[in-house]
Amino acid sequence: MKILKIDPVHIKSDFIRQAARVLRRGSLVVFPTETVYGIGADVFNEKAVAKIFIVKQRMADNPIIVHIAQMSDLKKLARNVLPQALLLAKHFWPGPLTLILSKKREVSQIVTGDNDTVAVRMPDHPVALALIKAVKSPIAAPSANLSGKPSATDVAHALSDFGDKIDVYIDSGPAKIGLESTVLDLTVNPPEILRPGAITKEILQKFLGRVVDNKNHPKNKIRSPGMKYRHYAPNARLVLVNGNPKIIVKKMQALLGKFKKEGKKVGIIASKETVAHCRQADSVVILSTRRNLKMAAHKLFRALRRFDDERMDIIISETFPERDIGKAIMNRLRKAATS
Ligand code: TXA
Ligand code: MG
């Protein structure tokens, strides 16, 4: 196992070439993107893609996002690419938006979990783009975490999940956004957000008109299979508290008192506004001020993983306003809390 440290500002091209060779020979590489770290395989090498499912312990029906570096790559993956897809690609790529499109026959069913659609995105990270270009093939890559765990926002998180089961890890420092891309299904009308992210419904509606949130399709076929599995979950039990800051403080204190009495180790995820009231806790992470949702998103998964390292029994987290990336934060927190 090898860790290649690549500064995104001064990219070492020999390291990129090394990692590209590893991917071309059918092994896996952990690499940075602007959202979270990915665990990549050459999309056209079925055996390599199958390895991803094994090391991640991922269910076979949960499809994988394919990462491209230039618009010409899209033709290798998707058919009937409609003008609205091109419009979004033009505005948001490279960036944290994944588009679900009709797939070409050449894209293996292993990648798409037997669906006839393919998820595509162009990551906004110079190292990821350089790597995909060097491989000369799009890279299939889910987030670089064991299934069910919080996504890796730093190479250390991927290392602790996979160790020497992966040949090469590229370390380019912490991921800028910290939450996974928005997943938008363009094969349905109106387009549907299968997973909220930094690019919100409000932003997408400016380009597409009506866009709907995922409705979970209780009876229909589950369209984003990833959504039905346990997700983002720390080992500790996660309890969410909502309300305005005053109410949050009250509820947190009550819960803290109760759990401490039970002899539990308690970690708290708080904001600058509420943190002063958490003295009884065993460990505290301040994400940001309640208004700085970008910073909160950036630090959320790191906080969940830190509490696992510290072996907390319970994590109490405050909730955040569901505007902008706040909706994605709350989506991940709720999933982590209910699993
Ligand atoms: O930001 C991200 O999207 C990161 C980085 C590495 O690019 N990737 C990521 O991949 O989060 P993953 O596998 O952890 O999540 C992909 C989500 C899953 O919920 C999966 O079910 C859904 O996208 N997905 C992938 N292909 C799909 C398809 N053809 N139809 C519906 N949903 C799909
Ligand atoms: Mg994931």
CA–centroid distance, 64 to ligand 1, in Å, is: 5
CATH of 2-213, one of 3.30.750.24, 3.30.2130.30, 3.30.160.20, 3.90.870.10: 3.90.870.10
Q: Output the residue whose Cα is nearest ligand 1's atom 17.
A: 226
pLDDT of residue 234: 84
Cβ atoms 55, 39 nearer than 8 A = yes
Each of the 339 residues of the chain gets a pLDDT tens digit; together they read 999 999 999 999 999 999 999 999 999 999 999 999 999 999 999 999 999 999 999 999 999 999 999 999 999 999 999 999 999 999 999 999 999 999 999 999 999 999 999 999 999 999 999 999 999 999 999 999 999 999 999 999 999 999 999 999 999 999 999 999 999 999 999 999 999 999 999 999 999 999 999 876 554 455 666 666 667 888 899 999 999 999 999 999 999 999 999 999 999 999 999 988 888 899 999 999 999 999 999 999 999 999 999 999 999 999 999 999 999 999 999 999 986
Question: Which helix H or strand E contains 171, and what residues bound it?
Answer: strand 168-171
CA–centroid distance, 247 to ligand 2, in Å, is: 33
In short, whether 152's Cβ falls inside 6 Å of ligand 1 is no
Residue 53: CB partners within 8 Å, gap ≥ 6?
Answer: 59, 60, 110
Q: Distance between CA 282 and CA 266 in Å, rounded?
A: 5
DSSP helix/strand/coil, 136: coil
Superfamily of segment(s) 237-337: Threonylcarbamoyl-AMP synthase, C-terminal domain (3.40.50.11030)
Binding residues for ATP are 58, 62, 117, 143, 151, 195, 232
Residue keyed to tokens 């420092």: 173
Shortest-distance ligand to the CA of residue 229: 1
pLDDT of residue 252: 94
CA 307 from centre of chain: 19
Under DSSP, the state recorded for 152 is: P
Domain ranges of the chain: 2-213, 237-337
In short, whether 224's Cβ falls inside 6 Å of ligand 1 is yes
pLDDT of residue 177: 98
The answer to whether the 2-213 and 237-337 domains have the same CATH topology is no
Nearest to 88 by CA among 63, 65, 122, 62: 122
Nearest to 172 by CA among 160, 154, 158: 154
Pocket test for ligand 1, best of 31, 59, 98 (most atoms within 8 A of CB): 98
CA 69 from centre of chain: 19
Question: Which helix H or strand E contains 77, and what residues bound it?
Answer: helix 74-77
In short, whether 194's Cβ falls inside 6 Å of ligand 1 is yes
pLDDT of residue 174: 98
Question: Which helix H or strand E contains 162, and what residues bound it?
Answer: helix 155-162
197: phi then psi, degrees, rounded to nearest 5: -155, -155
Cβ atoms 89, 199 nearer than 8 A = no
Cβ atoms 321, 292 nearer than 8 A = no
Binding residues for L-threonine are 35, 67, 121, 141, 181
CA distance from start to end of the chain: 32
Q: Which pTM does this prediction carry?
A: 0.96
Shortest-distance ligand to the CA of residue 39: 1
In short, whether 125's Cβ falls inside 6 Å of ligand 1 is no
Collect residues with CB below 5 Å from ion ligand 2.
143
In short, whether 182's Cβ falls inside 6 Å of ligand 1 is no
328: phi then psi, degrees, rounded to nearest 5: -70, -40
pLDDT of residue 25: 97
